Amino acid sequence: MDTEVLPGTAPADPLTMPAGEGWWRTAVIYQVYVRSFADGNGDGVGDLTGVRSRLPYLKSLGVDALWFTPWYRSPLADGGYDVQDYRQIDPRFGTLEEAELLIAEALALGIRTIVDIVPNHISDQHEWFQQALAAGPGSPERERFWFHRGRGEHGAGIPTNWVSSFQGETWSRTRNPDGTDGEWYLHLFTPEQPDLNWNHPDVRREHEDVLRFWFDRGVAGVRIDSAALPVKDPALPDLPPGTAPAVDHPHIDRDELHDIYRGWRAVADEYDGERVLVGEVWLDDAERFARYLRPGEMHTAFNFGFMTQPWSAQAMRDSITRTLAEHAPVGAPATWVLSNHDITRPVTRYGQADSSFAFERKRFGTATDAARGARRARAAALLVAALPGSLYIYQGDELGLPEVELPLDAIEDPMHFRSGGIDPGRDGCRVPLPWKGEAAPYGFGGAPWLPQPEDWGALTVEAQDADPDSTLNLYRAAIALRRRIGDLVGSDLEWLELGADVLAFRRGDGTLSVSNLGAVPVPLPAHHEVLLASAPLDGVLPPDSTAWLALRAVLPRSHPAPK
Ligand code: NOJ
C-alpha cells in the first residue's frame, strides 16, 4: 500500500507527557480497531504500520487521543479481548518497538494514546492458564482462576447457573492428563477467556505491573474492559430464579472492585501528564455507576445509557439529563459515545423502525432506511459533540459507514456462534475502512480479513476529502469548533423549550445546539450566526438535523462560512 509520509515527526521521548490540565475532561477520543484500520504490510489485516501511516489523517480530524482495542499477542478468539501476553504486540499487528514509535509519533502530533486492559479474563493460551491446566486440581497455579468441582457425585453438573454475556454456558470442563473428566473453570465470555480470580495477590500485582509497563512507554491512559465484572463472590452462589439481584450480585458490580481501581488510580497518579482510567461500566443503576467515578477511582466511564436510546427527543433529553445528574455529585465529566466495535453502526441503527440498541435484539435482515439513518447519524454527531464532557468516535463513524451484513462464512465473532447463528454478531461494524478508490480493498491494504461492500466508493476518505459537505468534513468542522468555542468547554447546559420533537440547549451564554428529531421542519430560534449544520438549512431546521448557532459574534470574521 502507498503510505502517507509523516512530515517531520521525529519520535518524541515517550516518557515525556505534556502537562495534562484536565485534558480528559473535554477530549475527543478516537477508537482504533487496529485489525480494520489500515493494513501496512498487505496481508489483509490492519496493523501498526498502517496506523502510523495514517497519523496525518487522525491529526486532520483533530482528535486529542487514540484508544486502541487490544493489540497484544492473542489467538484472537474474541478479537484480542483474549490476551496471551500483555507485554508483546500480536505479530499480525507489529512489534513492541513499533508500538513505542507509534505512541511517540502520535504524541509529537499532540495525540495521546490509550490502551485497553482486560482484567476480567485472559486467553486460555496465556502461560498462567496453561500452567494451571498442567498443574492439576488443588495446585497453587489453579488458584489464579476459578477452577471448581462440578455438582453431583461425578462432578458432571455445572458449578453455578450464571449466564454469559455471550449466551451459552459460563463453565467448561477440563480433562485430566489420564483422559478422564476433570474440574470446571469459569468463563463469563468464551471458553477461550478464563476468568481470573481477583482475590489472588498475583492477579492484582500483575495488572499493576502491566499498567506501569504501558505508562512507562508513554501511554496516557487505559480503557478498562468489562470493568464491573472481575470480582466474584467466592461462595459461588447460584443466581436466584427470575430477575438477578441488583445488589450483592455474585459477579457484577461487587463492592470489592473499588479497592482494585483505587490501586490502579494510585499507579496512574505516580506518573506525570495525567494518565487516565476509562471504565467500560455497563450498569443500569446510576448511583452504582457513579461510584466508579468517585475521587481516587476512575476518571471517566462510558455512557452507554445515552448510546442505547432511540431516535426520540424525549428519550434522549431524559438520558442527557440523567447522565449529567449522575456525574455531578462525584465531579466527573460525562462521556458521549454513539457506537464502538460492539454496537450496530449509528447510520444503520437510526434508520431502523426501532432505533434503540440492545444486544439481544440483533437479527439478520432487520430493515433500515439508509438515507434517513445517514441524516440522523450526522445530526447525532453534532448533538453529542455539543454536550459537556469527553467525546468518543469509533473509527468509520466519521465516514458515515453503515453496518455491513456479512456473508455467513466471513463471520468470526463468537457472539454469532454462541447465539446458535441467530445473532449476526459484531463483525458488521468491524469491516476494514475504505481509504480510496472505487473497489475493494479501497486502499486498506491487502484483501481485507472481512469483505468490504461493493458500494463504498463514495464513502472513502479520498472521496469525502474532496466534498465540503461530506460526513468526514462535518466531523472535522465540529471538532475544530469544539476547540475554538469557549462555550463548549464548560460543564453547564441549559435546555430550551422549542417543541416536543426538538432537542435544544444553550452552552455558555452564546452557543446553541438545536436538533430536530421530528418529521416536519421547525423554525430556528433567533441567532446571530449559524456555526455548523448537519444538513442544508434554508431558513428552517429540517427533520433529522442539528444546527449549532451563535447568539453573538464569537468567532473571528475570518472563520470559514458555515455550510
Ligand atoms: C467488552 C469488549 O468491548 C468486547 O468486545 C469483548 O468481547 C468483551 N468486553 C469481553 O472482553
- 292 and 426 part of one domain: yes
Ligand 1, atom nearest to 166 Cα: 7
pLDDT of residue 126: 98
Residue 220 lies in a domain: yes
At residue 530, the 3 state secondary structure works out as strand
pLDDT of residue 183: 97
Burial (CB count within 10 angstroms: exposed 0-12, middle 13-18, buried 19+), residue 545? buried
Q: Whose CA is nearest to atom 11 of ligand 1?
A: 81
- Cα-Cα-Cα-Cα dihedral sign, residues 176, 180, 183, 187: positive
**What count of other Cβ atoms lies within 10 Å of the Cβ of residue 226?**
21
Q: Whose CA is nearest to atom 6 of ligand 1?
A: 81
Strands 181-186 and 171-175: antiparallel
Nearest to 530 by CA among 555, 495, 496: 555
pTM: 0.95
Residue 401 lies in a domain: yes
**Average pLDDT value for residue range 244-250:** 84
Ligand 1, atom nearest to 81 Cα: 11
- 361 and 464 part of one domain: yes
Structural domain range at position 168: 127-186
Residue 401 near residue 459 (C-beta atoms within 8 A): yes
- How many structural domains are present in the chain? 2
State the SS3 of 162-181.
CCCCCCCCCEEEEECCCCCE
- Distance between the two ends of the chain, CA-based, in angstroms? 34
Binned at pLDDT 50, 70 and 90, residue 555 comes out as low
- 182 and 317 part of one domain: no
- Please choose from 225, 252, 302 the residue to mutate so as to test ligand 1's pocket, defined by most ligand atoms within 8 A of CB: 225
What percent of the chain clears pLDDT 90, i.e. is strictly above it?
90
- 230 and 110 part of one domain: yes
Mind listing the pLDDT tens digit for each residue in 220-242? 999 999 999 999 999 999 998 88
Residue 551 lies in a domain: no
Helices (H) and strands (E) in the chain — how many of each? 14, 20
Ligand 1 centre to CA of 74 (Å) is 14
The DSSP string of 345-387 is -HHHHTTSSS-S--GGG--TT----HHHHHHHHHHHHHHHHTS
* pLDDT at 14 > cutoff 90: no
Query: Residue 507: what are its φ and ψ, rounded to 5°?
Result: -115, 135
Q: Rounded to whole angstroms, how far apart are CA atoms 157 and 65?
A: 47
Q: Rounded to whole angstroms, how far apart are CA atoms 102 and 58?
A: 13
Q: Rounded to whole angstroms, how far apart are CA atoms 317 and 305?
A: 12
Residue 38 near residue 445 (C-beta atoms within 8 A): yes
Ligand 1 centre to CA of 159 (Å) is 24
Q: Whose CA is nearest to atom 3 of ligand 1?
A: 342
Ligand 1, atom nearest to 189 Cα: 10
* pLDDT at 425 > cutoff 70: yes
- 369 and 317 part of one domain: yes
Q: Rounded to whole angstroms, how far apart are CA atoms 48 and 70?
A: 12
pLDDT of residue 270: 97
Longest dimension (CA), the chain: 81
* pLDDT at 56 > cutoff 90: yes
**Average pLDDT value for residue range 524-531:** 96
Residue 333 lies in a domain: yes
Mind listing the pLDDT tens digit for each residue in 456-481? 999 999 999 999 999 999 999 999 99
Residue 310 near residue 354 (C-beta atoms within 8 A): yes
User: What is the helix, strand, coil percentage profile of the chain, to 5?
Assistant: 30, 15, 55
- Please choose from 34, 122, 192, 342 the residue to mutate so as to test ligand 1's pocket, defined by most ligand atoms within 8 A of CB: 342
At residue 423, the 3 state secondary structure works out as coil
DSSP state of 472: H
Residue 526 lies in a domain: no
- 177 and 221 part of one domain: no
Residue 534 near residue 382 (C-beta atoms within 8 A): yes
Q: Rounded to whole angstroms, how far apart are CA atoms 312 and 234?
A: 43
State the residue for C-alpha cell 509497563.
213
| 225 is an active site residue | yes
Q: Which of 444, 471, 498 is the last residue of a domain?
A: 471
| 43 is an active site residue | no
Half-sphere exposure of 153 (CA within 13 A, CB side): 0
Q: Rounded to whole angstroms, how far apart are CA atoms 37 and 395?
A: 7
- 112 and 132 part of one domain: no
- Please choose from 78, 359, 430 the residue to mutate so as to test ligand 1's pocket, defined by most ligand atoms within 8 A of CB: 78
Residue 504 near residue 495 (C-beta atoms within 8 A): yes
| Helical H segments across 248-335, by residue range | 257-269, 286-291, 304-307, 313-327
Averaged confidence pLDDT in the chain: 94
Ligand 1 centre to CA of 82 (Å) is 9
Mind listing the pLDDT tens digit for each residue in 109-135? 999 999 999 999 999 999 999 999 999
Residue 522 lies in a domain: no
- Please choose from 83, 189, 412, 415 the residue to mutate so as to test ligand 1's pocket, defined by most ligand atoms within 8 A of CB: 189
Ligand 1, atom nearest to 426 Cα: 5
Ligand 1 centre to CA of 72 (Å) is 14
CATH of the domain at 178: 3.90.400.10
- Residue 215: which H helix or E strand, with range? helix 201-216
Ligand 1 centre to CA of 226 (Å) is 7
pLDDT of residue 6: 38
Ligand 1 centre to CA of 476 (Å) is 29
Q: Rounded to whole angstroms, how far apart are CA atoms 271 and 281?
A: 24
Q: Whose CA is nearest to atom 4 of ligand 1?
A: 342
- 71 and 27 part of one domain: yes
- 274 and 394 part of one domain: yes
Who contacts 379 (Cβ-Cβ below 8 Å, separation ≥6)?
515, 516, 517, 534, 535, 544, 545, 546
Which residues form the pocket of ligand 1, taking CB atoms under 6 Å from any ligand atom? 78-79, 81, 118, 189, 225-226, 280, 341-342
- Please choose from 117, 226, 339, 343 the residue to mutate so as to test ligand 1's pocket, defined by most ligand atoms within 8 A of CB: 226
Out of 90, 225, 397, 413, which one is annotated catalytic?
A: 225
Residue 373 near residue 351 (C-beta atoms within 8 A): yes
Q: Rounded to whole angstroms, how far apart are CA atoms 150 and 185?
A: 9
**What count of other Cβ atoms lies within 10 Å of the Cβ of residue 472?**
21
- 112 and 131 part of one domain: no
**What count of other Cβ atoms lies within 10 Å of the Cβ of residue 329?**
12
Residue 412 lies in a domain: yes
Residue 331 near residue 295 (C-beta atoms within 8 A): yes
What percent of the chain clears pLDDT 70, i.e. is strictly above it?
95
Greater confidence (476 vs 489) lies with 476
* pLDDT at 8 > cutoff 90: no
- 150 and 228 part of one domain: no
Out of 270, 405, 469, 492, which one is annotated catalytic?
A: 270
Give the strand order in the sheet containing 511-516: 494-496, 502-507, 511-516, 545-550, 529-533
Residue 142 near residue 132 (C-beta atoms within 8 A): yes
**What count of other Cβ atoms lies within 10 Å of the Cβ of residue 561?**
6
Ligand 1 centre to CA of 36 (Å) is 16
Ligand 1 centre to CA of 190 (Å) is 11
State the residue for C-alpha cell 451564554.
509
At residue 2, the 3 state secondary structure works out as coil
Ligand 1 centre to CA of 557 (Å) is 47
Ligand 1 centre to CA of 510 (Å) is 40
CATH of the domain at 57: 3.20.20.80
* pLDDT at 556 > cutoff 90: no
- 252 and 343 part of one domain: yes
pLDDT of residue 242: 80
Q: Which of 142, 157, 186 is the last residue of a domain?
A: 186
Most confident of 6-10, 76-80, 163-167, 508-512: 76-80
Q: Which of 425, 449, 471 is the last residue of a domain?
A: 471
Residue 313 lies in a domain: yes
